[in-house]
């Protein structure tokens, strides 16, 4: 906001405006909207997920319908077209909505469906990252991180750390569809408080790696045996600062990758075998959560 003419007094350069009332609705408007929506959708037999409160599901015999909401954007899917149509009719009776048809783009994620399955990617988002980083004309690289590179706090501090933090923050969201950069983004996020030139160079290498295949993503096949398979590994004492190991695992449902993680272990492992066991424990816990009874959404793509 710009103060009105004549408000500045002699010798004053800046003034701060104190906000007495929100200009765009009440502060509790978003909370009240979600409360009203939750009440309306739960009255139709939907159950709110306790893991993700923005997810609502309804199971009736073999009919399954799922609804995902983010602010005022709603995504509806299911294996019963009649149930999906009834859900849309219910929402139209309660709220003023606009049906945009089959999903193509939702919250920065691009969808492409066929009889073979569903492919998701973030190509537009990747191109925006490359453009903002000023690397449109840079040569792509084959790996997101140099082999054997161990980041530390030895180089000079960045004069503008905000640029590094914004870049890493955008890369964190990109891991939704790009598990191949999960590890390097996890390592870079450790240095958000005091980023250095070496860290910025490593982050820009990730952008150059993305430039090689900006449309790469995940494919969820419709042909699956509904069997969970997990693979785990560890990087023993991989952190040069704390000597802690890094746990990495990925979980497949049939041929489709559905869960992955790269996380530094909480304690220092005294041997590589101990680090491997800790990584295997993390993968086992994930398998326990992702039991077949909780994966009700997967028959939708069959």
Per-residue pLDDT of the chain (302 residues), as tens digits, is 666 777 766 666 666 777 776 656 666 778 888 899 999 999 989 999 887 889 999 988 888 999 999 888 899 988 889 999 999 998 988 888 888 888 898 888 999 988 899 999 999 999 999 999 999 999 999 999 998 888 887 888 889 899 999 999 999 999 999 999 999 999 999 999 889 999 999 999 999 999 999 999 999 998 888 788 999 999 888 887 888 999 999 999 889 999 999 999 999 999 999 999 999 999 988 888 876 445 444 444 33
22: exposed, middle or buried (Cβ count in 10 Å: 0-12, 13-18, 19+)? exposed
The DSSP code sequence of 217-258 is EEEEES-----EEEEEEEETT--TTT---EEEEEEEETTEEE
Residues 6+ apart with CB under 8 A from 44: 58, 87, 90
The conformation of residue 298, written as its DSSP 8-state character, comes to G
How many angstroms separate the CA atoms of 86 and 201, rounded?
Answer: 52
- Residue 188: its pLDDT value, please? 93
Side-chain-side CA neighbours of 263 within 13 Å: the count stands at: 14
Closest by CA to 233, choosing from 263, 192, 256, 209, is 263
Place of tokens 């690289």: 141
- Residue 22: its pLDDT value, please? 62
- Domains of the chain listed by start with CATH number: 30-101 (3.30.310), 121-212 (no CATH), 225-301 (3.30.420.10)
- Residue 296: its pLDDT value, please? 46
- Residue 21: its pLDDT value, please? 66
Its pTM stands at 0.78
Please list the residues that pair with 251 across neighbouring strands.
230, 259
Task: Specify the long-range contacts of residues 110-119, CB closer than 8 Å, at least 24 apart.
Answer: 110/217, 115/222, 116/221, 116/222, 116/223, 117/219, 117/220, 117/221, 117/222, 117/223, 117/256, 117/301, 118/219, 118/220, 118/222, 118/301, 119/217, 119/218, 119/219, 119/220
């Amino acid at each position: 906001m710009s103060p009105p003419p004549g408000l500045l007094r002699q010798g004053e350069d800046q003034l701060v405006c104190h906000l007495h009332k929100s200009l765009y609705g009440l502060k509790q408007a978003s909370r009240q909207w979600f409360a009203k929506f939750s009440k309306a959708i739960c009255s139709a037999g939907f159950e709110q997920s306790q893991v993700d409160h923005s997810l609502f599901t309804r199971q009736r015999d073999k009919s399954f319908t799922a609804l995902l909401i983010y602010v005022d954007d709603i995504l509806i899917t299911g294996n019963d077209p009649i149930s999906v149509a009834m859900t849309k009719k219910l929402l139209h009776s309660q709220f003023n909505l606009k049906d945009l048809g089959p999903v193509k783009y939702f919250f920065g994620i691009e969808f492409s469906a066929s009889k073979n399955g569903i492919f998701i990617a973030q190509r537009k988002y990747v191109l925006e990252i490359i453009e903002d980083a000023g690397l449109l004309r840079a040569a792509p690289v084959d790996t997101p991180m140099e082999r054997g590179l161990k980041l530390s706090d030895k180089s000079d501090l960045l004069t503008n750390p905000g640029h590094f933090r914004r870049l890493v923050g955008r890369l964190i969201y990109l891991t939704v569809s790009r598990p191949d950069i999960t590890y390097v983004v996890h390592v870079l996020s450790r240095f958000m408080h005091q980023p250095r030139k070496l860290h910025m160079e490593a982050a820009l290498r990730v952008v150059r790696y993305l430039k090689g295949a900006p449309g790469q993503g995940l494919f969820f096949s419709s042909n699956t045996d509904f069997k969970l398979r997990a693979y785990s590994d560890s990087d023993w004492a991989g952190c040069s600062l704390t000597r802690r190991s890094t746990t990495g695992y990925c979980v497949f449902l049939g041929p489709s990758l559905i869960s992955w993680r790269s996380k530094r272990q909480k304690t220092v492992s005294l041997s590589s075998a101990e680090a491997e066991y800790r990584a295997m424990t993390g993968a086992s816990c994930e398998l326990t959560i992702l039991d077949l009874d909780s994966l009700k959404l997967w028959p939708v793509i069959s």
